[in-house]
Structure 1
Amino acid sequence: MSVADVEHVLVVPTEKFHEIGKFQGFHENVDHYLDQLLTPEQMSFRPRDLMERSPEFKQLIPYVIFEYEDEQGGKHVFQYVRGKGQGESRLHSKRSVGIGGHVSSEDAPSDAEDPFQEGMRRELAEEVTFDAPHVLTCAGLINDDESEVGRVHLGVVYLCKIERPEVKPNEEDILEAGFRPVSEMLAKLEEFETWSSICLESIYGK
């Protein structure tokens, strides 16, 4: 692989994250962190293979959760199983509620207003199709320093409240996809990757 073919992903210094306020799990005060992390001084694009082994940096990952509320007020969330073709091998065969992925240097042409938002839009378009009316809001941050994969990533969680449960996967490696009642998922958190179980418990387990 040539140098030009190496994927460069968006990262911020772990030291800066700790300076703002280190936490484990889910944190709702998103603006307090992103206002200080998503700046030209803190953001950089570095080789992904190197960053996966470099805890001095956090790779910023958009993590979008689709929620549908039925006529009885019951909440349902889109979930799926990660196939072996999905990027992070350490998460293969895990059940997930998050759609998203790494923000690439290709998401940051010179005229891009916000490479993070551009990366999130690209990841959503690549992974799923949805046409129903929806509202997208930022719900929180996930940090999990207790796992190998978590130590080098910082999740930015978005909640996409959609009027109809119509989200279709675009990739073969998004398996067993569909909406399930939140109550069912809360009873089986052990089936889910750590970030998903943290989100389900923090957002819906109250």
Structure 2
Amino acid sequence: MKPEFILATMGDIWDEEKPLILNDPLADPRGAYVSEVIPDSKLVIAQREMLESNPTYRQIIPYVIVTYRGEILSYRRTSKVGEQRLAGKSSVGWGGHVDIAKDAVWNTDGSLCLISTLLGCTNRELSEELGLTSEDYESPRVLGFIAGSGSEVDKVHAGVVLTVELSMEGRVKITAEDELTDLSFETQSDIELGDEYDRMTDNPGELESWSRAIIQSVVI
């Protein structure tokens, strides 16, 4: 199998005491703040296999919240999902690793254009996971960043949190039905209440950690 090269950062740029960093998407819709939080000198391109269990680095994930008229698109990962450490968990985040071969946008000086690369990855993942084109939603807005350490998955990943507003509800359709299920639009408060119930009853479908942090801390 051909090696997959993905985008990551050095782990030392993230503060574990402040796992969620918020941006003002109205003042900074294109996310210029991204390059301040993730400077070029801290970017790393490496084989995914090498990064999966090495907390010296954090794999970058565009983590996209899909909304429509005040509701958030949620789903649950099945046992067949690629990242087995998240199997059974519910989520409000769409997206995946930044694949250098598919997503990288380069500046004329040979450096990586980070924001364009992240937006390209966002568009690709929404197309692959939900069958959407860029015409189906407004331009992505950067909400902030997330990099916790509460689980083994958290320790090797950092998320750039974005949001997109759909133009039509009926456009979405899960393409990987064997990996993702229970697609639904819910209000933010209903998602939070459902997660509290799942945790109280030890339901394995509780929210994954990033989704919980965002639902509890960010008004979407």
Same fold per superposition (TM over 0.5): yes
Unmatched tracts of structure 2, length 5 or more: 24-30, 200-205
Using the TM superposition, name which of 46-55 and 91-100 deviates more. Answer: 46-55
**1:35 paired to 2:50:** no
Change beyond 3 A, Cα 1:76–1:53: same
- CA drift at 1:85: 3.4
Partner of 2:202: none
Within the alignment, does 1:186 sit opposite 2:192 as a pair?
Answer: yes
| Partner SS state of residue 98, structure 2 | coil
Indicate how the Cα distance of structure 1 residues 8 and 132 shifts in structure 2: closer, same or farther if over 3 A, else same.
closer
The percentage of counterpart residues that share the same residue type is 28
3-state SS of 1:27 partner? strand
Q: Which runs of 5+ in 1 are unaligned?
A: 70-74
**Any idea what the Cα deviations from partners look like across 1:129-160, whole Å, max 9, x if unmatched?**
34645342111111111211101110111111
What is the SS of the residue equivalent to 1:134?
coil
Matched residue, 1:88 = 83
1:120 corresponds in structure 2 to 122
How has the CA–CA distance of structure 1 residues 153 and 128 changed in structure 2, closer, same or farther, with 3 Å as cutoff?
Answer: same
**Which structure 2 residues correspond to residues 157-176 of structure 1 after superposition, within 5 A?**
157-166=161-170, 167-172=172-177, 173-176=179-182
Q: Which residue of 2 aligns with 1:156?
A: 160
TM-score (norm 2): 0.78
Write the deviation string for residues 67-123 of structure 1: whole angstroms up to 9, x where unpaired: 122xxxxx3110001123332110011101011000012122767853332222211
Letter in 2 for 1:87: G
TM-score (norm 1): 0.82
RMSD, aligned CA: 2.4
Instruction: Give 2:28's aligned residue.
Output: none
CA distance in 1, matches of 2:121, 2:89: 23
Letter in 2 for 1:115: T
SS of residue paired to 2:42: coil
Partners in 2 of 1:200 and 1:164 — Cα distance? 23
Contact 1:23 1:143 in 2 (8 A): no
Give the distance between the partners of 2:159 and 2:44, measured in 1 at CA. 16
Q: Within 2, Cα distance between the matches of 1:187 and 1:195?
A: 16
- Summarize the Cα distance change of 1:87–1:138 in structure 2 as closer, same or farther, 3 Å threshold: same
More strand by proportion, 1 or 2?
1
Conserved in 2, the CA contact under 8 Å of 1:135 and 1:162?
Answer: no
Contact 2:16 2:149 in 1 (8 A): no
Number of aligned residues: 193
Q: Bigger shift: 101-110 or 177-186?
A: 101-110
Structure 2 counterpart of 1:44: 44
Does structure 2 conserve the Cα–Cα contact (< 8 Å) formed by 1:55 and 1:152? yes
